[in-house]
Amino acid sequence: MARNDPPSNLRRGFGYHQARQSGMGGVRQDRSPNQINRAIDENRTARRIREVLESEPEWAPFVEHWISDGMSAEVTESALFRARGYANDRAKGRSLKWCMRIWDWE
């Protein structure tokens, strides 16, 4: 296309951003780097939770309950880690006081 050709749609400003601003459907708004990092972390955490549930399916009802209560993936993973540790300690015959020593803040 030479310089003196009639203007085309590409040169009139009908690109991606203009189409999005004009209300074209199906085009997602740009996300900030913080939003992308948060989404990556949530996906990674959800993947780790799925791996635990595949290896230990007896924890699935607890995770479903926590998610239905509105817990985020990070909080659910933390609760699952603590619950698994508590169950493991109790299975080894350790006392409740010994199991809760980490969370005793007094």
What is the rounded CA–CA span in Å between residue 74 and residue 84? 15
CB 86 within 8 A of CB 99: yes
**Separation between Cα atoms, residue 23 and residue 34, nearest integer Å:** 25
pTM confidence score:
0.62
- Across 26-40, average pLDDT: 83
Across residues 11-33, what is the average pLDDT? 69
Higher pLDDT, 70 or 27: 70
Distance of CA 20 to the CA centre of its chain: 26
Domain extents in the chain: 31-99
